[in-house]
């Protein structure tokens, strides 16, 4: 970590909800672009969309998890995920983009994945222990990324939240007495194409698209990204051309929705 860079303040937000894959899918099915947070939460509760969840838990998931993750500052993440869901793309593509959107809103999850998970995975380590997460949290407290000491209970819950989310999106597998196995994860072709388009649409220039830090969530360095995208070809909605250090993307689709439809065949 760059010692001169501004310190990101980590929060305990992940305690409120890990990946919540099933719940997020249910909420996206019911969500409409014109819904306000309040009206949406009330409708979800009234219609019992989340099954046996209590009224308090329903409001908590909608207002403190779903809304911050996917509707603020814009509803772009919700629109993308909803379109992926309605397509014929495999479920792992949904999980990959869900992970990106959650990590963008949670610096703790983002940094842990980039700074701890992937270095261990690249080193050939098989196991990710709870102590690895706790050590990371201790380091974050020491350098100011955590503003005050968290209680043992909070540390345990945050640790479980991080490990549970990484398991749910496929970066870890199974648990046996607190042991999580690191998987041999590879970002899918569809996920790579959608992430590239997303970065393009939020204003990332062609020259820096392959070096954007989001790729590191999947253990990819700029050269890896360029190699992966270059071989996808026109049938995936875009073409990558490079001349020396110059990189140019030619898109054959006009929107994210059109790209998703092309990828879904």
Q: Give the whole-number percent of the chain exceeding pLDDT 90.
A: 79
Instruction: Confirm if 31 and 79 have CB atoms less than 8 A apart.
Output: no
Please tell me the distance from the alpha carbon of residue 47 to that of residue 65, in angstroms, as a whole number: 19
Give the model's pLDDT for residue 38: 81
Q: What is the DSSP letter of 246?
A: E
Residue 244 has pLDDT above 50, yes or no: yes
Q: Which pLDDT tens digit goes with each residue over 140-179?
A: 999 999 999 999 999 999 999 999 999 999 999 976 666 7
Q: Residue 107: CB partners within 8 Å, gap ≥ 6?
A: 8, 9, 10, 145
∠ CA 91-119-198, rounded to 5°: 40
The average confidence (pLDDT) of the chain is 92
Torsion angle of alpha carbons 73, 77, 79, 84, nearest 10°?
A: 180
Q: Which pLDDT tens digit goes with each residue over 4-32?
A: 455 689 999 999 888 899 999 999 999 99
* Strand 179-182 versus strand 127-128 pairing type: antiparallel
b/e code 65-74 from CB counts within 10 Å (16+ = b): bbbbbbbeee
CA distances from 20 to 14, 15, 67, 166, 226 (A): 11, 11, 13, 12, 32
Structure tokens at 258: 């059109």
Please tell me the distance from the alpha carbon of residue 95 to that of residue 106, in angstroms, as a whole number: 16
Nearest to 238, CA basis, from 190, 185, 183, 188 = 190
Instruction: Confirm if 18 and 165 have CB atoms less than 8 A apart.
Output: yes
The pTM assigned to this predicted structure is 0.94
How far from chain centre, in Å, is Cα 85? 16
């Amino acid at each position: 970590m760059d010692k001169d860079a501004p310190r990101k303040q980590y929060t305990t937000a992940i305690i409120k909800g890990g990946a919540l894959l099933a719940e997020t899918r249910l909420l996206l099915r019911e969500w409409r672009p014109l819904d306000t947070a309040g009206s949406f939460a009330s409708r979800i509760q009234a219609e019992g969309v989340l099954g046996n969840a209590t009224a308090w838990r329903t409001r908590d998931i909608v207002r403190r998890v779903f809304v911050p993750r996917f509707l603020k500052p814009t509803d772009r993440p919700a629109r993308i995920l909803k379109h992926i869901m309605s397509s014929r793309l495999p479920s792992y593509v949904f999980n990959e983009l869900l992970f990106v959107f959650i990590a963008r809103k949670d610096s703790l999850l983002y940094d842990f994945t980039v700074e701890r998970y992937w270095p261990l995975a690249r080193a050939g380590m098989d196991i990710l222990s709870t102590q690895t997460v706790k050590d990371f949290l201790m380091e974050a407290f020491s350098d100011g990324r955590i503003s005050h000491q968290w209680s043992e209970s909070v540390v345990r819950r945050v640790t479980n939240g991080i490990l549970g989310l990484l398991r749910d999106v496929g970066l870890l597998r199974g648990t046996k007495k607190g042991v999580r196995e690191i998987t041999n994860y590879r970002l899918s072709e569809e996920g790579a194409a959608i992430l590239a388009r997303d970065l393009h649409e939020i204003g990332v220039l062609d020259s820096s698209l392959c070096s954007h830090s989001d790729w590191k969530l999947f253990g990819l360095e700029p050269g890896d990204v360029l190699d992966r995208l270059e071989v996808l070809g026109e049938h995936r909605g875009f073409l990558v051309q490079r001349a020396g250090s110059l990189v140019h993307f030619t898109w054959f689709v006009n929107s994210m929705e059109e790209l998703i439809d092309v990828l879904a065949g």
